[in-house]
Structure 1
């Protein structure tokens, strides 16, 4: 019994020390570029789908002297393209379009010039459509709201730069066309489609299709540097960015997005794999871009990422599949290198000799092991103290979000318990399971804890 209890406590402490040791290292990386008095950064790091680091540093609004918070809302720029690509694949799964459909089928303006361009070509930037959009215009043009049709009119007469599928060349124009296709098929605006089919479905309650006129809680102000001083970024109607870059979000909501992708909440596994697979050109050459996912490497670890930029904002979302680490960083000034910050943070997990040891200790949650919801009145029956040995008790509690947790003696960190049945729970961060035992009167009398093949029964006080 003593050995089991010592082992369990050691594992809990190891997990939390893992988080704390990286906390100071990440703090140091972030503070080299950002400080509390300038426009700043919100950054989140997750391991196995669970945040192990999330902080904000700097000002949300310099004039009001308001600090950034972890729930601050940023323009995420071209990370929007991931939402557009996944929306297209959702429509594919619904049987409403085919990835090999010619775009002229849905956009009359491209019936001729787009006769050889497929939706696949738009998704991976191999269409040959010139990256000429109103986003690049200066002066007062960028201040005017534009409809998707008006955006397309601006570039529809441009000749193709190359034969579709022959080359890779990044094109916002291509993703504007994808937004129009989503609207044509769904009979909804792009913003409505994203809201109903993604944001609402996975609980992204602090994410929005961008509108400069609407009141958005916790919206940050964007800045640039001019003559070594911060100034307000030029006003730009987000209607110009449309399906290529108009979304706003938070680091926590982007983690929900990442988890939804990996758990196949929005799409089948085969569709996600299609989006996250490098593209083949007509020649057979492979390019490091899928459907709004860019591929690279850090050391021996694959990286799947995308960046974003609008006037006054930069962003990055980076995933290390080998380590199951997700990093997202959002800033309200496009004057500093947020991509380098995210890369340095990623390198902590790629190059650290401790990573593999910790990964062996931390239990990775399997996709098939999904927690179920248990009514609060049942969970309340499990709360209380359980005697491991005389004068040594485990505490089971329930927080205000109806999350059951375990607190080990001498510890201040709560360990969340996730239900597989109404009385059997598992722990995500260590290989441990807990069953609550009842007597013939349906009263909870003890708990049985299993960890790595060892078992202990603790009587309820």
Structure 2
């Protein structure tokens, strides 16, 4: 049920005269060979399927291949179906999006439920903390918990902010919407799915996933590791529920997408409400269970509207994208986490428009691991440093290096693990997570002094990093968790200006009221929060900004830290 930042990437390199279906097949095959995709893909334009195929294996132990009709868990794509059922209930007069949570769910606490509207739940603006962010989520996920009990225990905590004041992607809101659907219809959420969507559209390969049921052609979920794949942890599907419990095929998702352009299930005026851009979030506008954004088309002739949503859940990754004006539909489902599904969709878009594109690079991590075992850690690090600059053929990132470090840690190769974590802190020195991992390795080694230093560094970089506080507390070191700094408006104004990320791509920083915002070219604005002097972070995505000053103390640039990248941005205005 992970969140996805809607980014359209158009990278030139390869131009082919092959038929489009062959180009797509060749492209996705490259991602499979690079270890970045293992699943099913369908590409269409309106009612014409351009390409569909399977890559890799639905079950790796039995060597069963993926196919277009392989059933995969789709995670947060479930939210599209939940929001749709809510709008069906609006049509039936059973609910209003302006109505309050407590009006429809009598057992919900009245003090907060009386000010949270249905629209707040649909648009991730309720202020209810997401239960999937809990530190004990892995334990919760192993239990089958009745809906009402789950809502009361995990979705009824105190609000993080006033409803409607912020966008923070939230699975609790959609879990509650499922409970409301059951309350209003008198049937289960699963039965409502069939009544309102699956049966009318004859989506026979789509449903509410359960562990016990025998589901033909259901894939097994995996986790990408430093060396390949491992089984995903067990997750009882009563826990994702209306926020992420469904399975489907790329073929059925295509049928679903086609139906959204008709009035077969819902009159146009109600359908339009689903896709109305309402709030800024995740690099786009958010409607009811969908993200939407206008971009310049790859052929640079006109702007087009992208409507999309991704899904990520234990063992699975998915993406459903519609390009409205030319009618392109791209559905992708991967039965492994850590997929490049969004990147693949964006590159397929280049292929559809006849533009150049870049093949994926292979990850360096298996090569490094093999070298560690055969030649030792020092030789492996030397090899890594020789190959890391060949970005056309090899890639690495913070997550993969961390996985390698933990793999070595699990193999009790403590010295090798420590050197990999150290390398990660050198390559990504501003990442709180890598310092926390480095601390865990030092702790395992028995080096308490350095472990404390690394955990403190992690907190310095991200004062909200709860695991590091927990580690330090166990080591007898008490550090008070920092709250965001509240700076006076005159101080915030020191950061205002335009900062150049790339030619024709500017990050504007400005003050509104008593808050500081940032807005990139062609994107919505986001509030940024002060963790320390000159250091800010975003809540909607994992990104940090650090403002830099000249010798006279004037802000003259900023550094953007996002997705393992360190991007210097000069102040130009």
Q: Structure 2 length normalisation: TM-score?
A: 0.55
Q: Output the CA distance in 2 between the equivalents of 1:59 and 1:36.
A: 15
Shift of residue 298, structure 1, vs aligned partner: 4.1
User: Counterpart in 1 of 2:338?
Assistant: 335
Aligned residues: 332
- What are structure 2's unaligned runs of at least 5 residues? 1-15, 297-302, 357-573
Shift of residue 312, structure 1, vs aligned partner: 0.8
Q: Output the CA distance in 1 between the equivalents of 2:197 and 2:17.
A: 30
Seen in structure 2, the aligned counterparts of structure 1 residues 93 and 45 have a Cα distance that, compared at 3 Å, is same
Deviation readout 1:72-94 (Å, 9 max, x if unpaired): 00000000000000000001101
User: Counterpart in 2 of 1:326?
Assistant: 329
CA contact (8 A) 1:76 1:330 kept: yes
Query: Equivalent residue of 2:141, what SS?
Result: helix
1:91 and 2:89 correspond: yes
Query: Equivalent residue of 1:221, what SS?
Result: coil
Seen in structure 2, the aligned counterparts of structure 1 residues 267 and 165 have a Cα distance that, compared at 3 Å, is same
Shift of residue 184, structure 1, vs aligned partner: 0.3
1:294 and 2:294 correspond: no
User: Counterpart in 2 of 1:314?
Assistant: 317
CA contact (8 A) 1:49 1:326 kept: no
Q: Output the CA distance in 1 between the equivalents of 2:305 and 2:289.
A: 16
- What are structure 1's unaligned runs of at least 5 residues? 1-17, 354-461
User: Counterpart in 1 of 2:21?
Assistant: 23
1:62 and 2:65 correspond: no
CA contact (8 A) 2:36 2:338 kept: no
User: Counterpart in 2 of 1:386?
Assistant: none
Seen in structure 2, the aligned counterparts of structure 1 residues 27 and 343 have a Cα distance that, compared at 3 Å, is same
Shift of residue 249, structure 1, vs aligned partner: 0.2
Shift of residue 337, structure 1, vs aligned partner: 1.1
Seen in structure 2, the aligned counterparts of structure 1 residues 19 and 252 have a Cα distance that, compared at 3 Å, is farther
CA contact (8 A) 1:129 1:159 kept: yes
Query: Equivalent residue of 1:159, what SS?
Result: coil
Shift of residue 272, structure 1, vs aligned partner: 1.2
Deviation readout 1:268-292 (Å, 9 max, x if unpaired): 11111111011158xxxx9610001
Q: Output the CA distance in 2 between the equivalents of 1:293 and 1:217.
A: 29
Query: Equivalent residue of 2:322, what SS?
Result: strand
Query: Equivalent residue of 2:25, what SS?
Result: helix
User: Counterpart in 2 of 1:159?
Assistant: 158
User: Counterpart in 1 of 2:140?
Assistant: 141
Q: Output the CA distance in 2 between the equivalents of 1:110 and 1:252.
A: 41
Cα RMSD after superposing both structures: 2.4
Q: Output the CA distance in 2 between the equivalents of 1:352 and 1:312.
A: 33
User: Counterpart in 1 of 2:31?
Assistant: 33
Seen in structure 2, the aligned counterparts of structure 1 residues 62 and 50 have a Cα distance that, compared at 3 Å, is same
Query: Equivalent residue of 1:346, what SS?
Result: helix
Seen in structure 2, the aligned counterparts of structure 1 residues 319 and 65 have a Cα distance that, compared at 3 Å, is same
Shift of residue 154, structure 1, vs aligned partner: 2.8
Query: Equivalent residue of 2:224, what SS?
Result: strand
Q: Structure 1 length normalisation: TM-score?
A: 0.68
Alignment of 1:268-417 (within 5 A): 268-280=267-279, 288-299=285-296, 300-350=303-353, 352=355
Q: Output the CA distance in 1 between the equivalents of 2:342 and 2:170.
A: 20
Alignment of 1:193-342 (within 5 A): 193-280=192-279, 288-299=285-296, 300-342=303-345
User: Counterpart in 1 of 2:70?
Assistant: 72
Seen in structure 2, the aligned counterparts of structure 1 residues 120 and 350 have a Cα distance that, compared at 3 Å, is farther
Seen in structure 2, the aligned counterparts of structure 1 residues 22 and 39 have a Cα distance that, compared at 3 Å, is closer
Seen in structure 2, the aligned counterparts of structure 1 residues 228 and 154 have a Cα distance that, compared at 3 Å, is farther
User: Counterpart in 1 of 2:540?
Assistant: none
1:170 and 2:192 correspond: no
Shift of residue 153, structure 1, vs aligned partner: 2.2
User: Counterpart in 2 of 1:184?
Assistant: 183
Q: Output the CA distance in 2 between the equivalents of 1:122 and 1:30.
A: 36
User: Counterpart in 1 of 2:115?
Assistant: 116
Deviation readout 1:80-112 (Å, 9 max, x if unpaired): 000000000001101111111101012222322
Query: Equivalent residue of 1:168, what SS?
Result: coil
Shift of residue 142, structure 1, vs aligned partner: 1.8
Seen in structure 2, the aligned counterparts of structure 1 residues 190 and 157 have a Cα distance that, compared at 3 Å, is closer
CA contact (8 A) 1:222 1:311 kept: yes
CA contact (8 A) 2:39 2:58 kept: no
